[in-house]
Structure 1
Amino acid sequence: MEASVPKRGDEAVGGAPGDGSVQLRRRLGRADLRAVPEARGALRELLRHWGRPGRAETAELLASELVTNALVHTDRDAILTATVGPRRLRVEVRDFVGRRPRPRAPGDGEDTHGRGLLLVQSLADAWGVRAQGVGKVVWFELDGGGG
């Protein structure tokens, strides 16, 4: 139920009892591209001591791609959720438009849309899209590499 979702900028930290996970949840305002560096910073702080070298930076890059896509292509609010466990990170960006994103190969044309998903596809250990109520969730996972 959406009533439990924090307002933009609010963060909830905590995970399921006993599983060692920590969660960041942030509402991102409609078409507010300032939310992209803010989300990156919050994720950077959350991942300060997580994973092998370079994994946190990869997570920041991929999360910023998903956040940017949600804000630019939907013109609606979005919700970023990052769940960090001892061995795995899962980042989800929920928006409120049902149209599914499609990765597009770079071509000779000027169209740059869809290329961020190619980064997600090539750098994430797993990723996908699932329908959720009115809208969808685009997610990725990274293995922390024993960190």
Structure 2
Amino acid sequence: MAGEARQPTQLLRRVGCADLTAVPEVRHALRAMLGTWGAPGAGDVAELLTSELVTNALIHTDDGAVVTATVVPDQLRVEVRDFVPGLHRTRARVPHADDGTHGRGLVLVQALADSWGVENHGMGKVVWFELNGGAA
């Protein structure tokens, strides 16, 4: 109906400790949820950034993580919550040339997200990003 606000669509996934098979599963679920959301390429960027945050949480923590993605017509917000206190390893840094593919996750998030941040939540933290999808 015209003038009616569309309710947000949400994805919620718990990923186990060091379960890197969860990364493509979360990507697939996000792709299914987003469908044709956003401008061309917006879904691909969302998948890439989500993969980076989930991978970081699984590699750098021992208790798994919770992934939440919320999409409204013009915006996507993805949050990855871990259960390790402190904000270590949550600064975007230029990786060393000999690091291979390691150390680039937050640099990608910083470069490609419309906004991002880290919030301390008592027993853990949330690393999040937002993308403005524009017109589909």
Q: Please report how far the alpha carbon of residue 98 of structure 1 lies from its aligned counterpart in structure 2 after TM superposition.
A: 2.0
Contact 2:86 2:120 in 1 (8 A): no
Aligned to 2:135: 146
2:84 pairs with one of 85, 94, 97: 97
> Deviation per CA, 1:117-136, whole angstroms, max 9, x where unpaired?
00000000000000112000
TM-score, normalising length: structure 2: 0.89
Aligned to 1:39: 26
Q: CA RMSD in A?
A: 1.5
Q: Please report how far the alpha carbon of residue 84 of structure 1 lies from its aligned counterpart in structure 2 after TM superposition.
A: 0.4
Structure 2: state its 5+ residue gaps.
none
Residues 97 and 79 of structure 1, relative CA distance in 2, 3 Å threshold: same
Aligned to 1:70: 57
Structure 1, 50-59 or 95-104: larger mean CA deviation: 95-104
Aligned to 2:68: 81
Contact 2:81 2:127 in 1 (8 A): yes
2:95 pairs with one of 72, 95, 106: 106
TM-score, normalising length: structure 1: 0.83
Q: Please report how far the alpha carbon of residue 103 of structure 1 lies from its aligned counterpart in structure 2 after TM superposition.
A: 1.6
Structure 1, 99-108 or 45-54: larger mean CA deviation: 99-108
Q: Establish whether residue 125 from structure 1 lines up as the match of residue 109 from structure 2.
A: no
Q: RCO (CA 8 Å, sep 6+): is it higher in 1 or 2?
A: 2
Aligned pairs, number: 130
Q: Please report how far the alpha carbon of residue 111 of structure 1 lies from its aligned counterpart in structure 2 after TM superposition.
A: 7.3
User: 1 CA distance for matches of 2:127 and 2:100?
Assistant: 21
Aligned to 2:123: 134
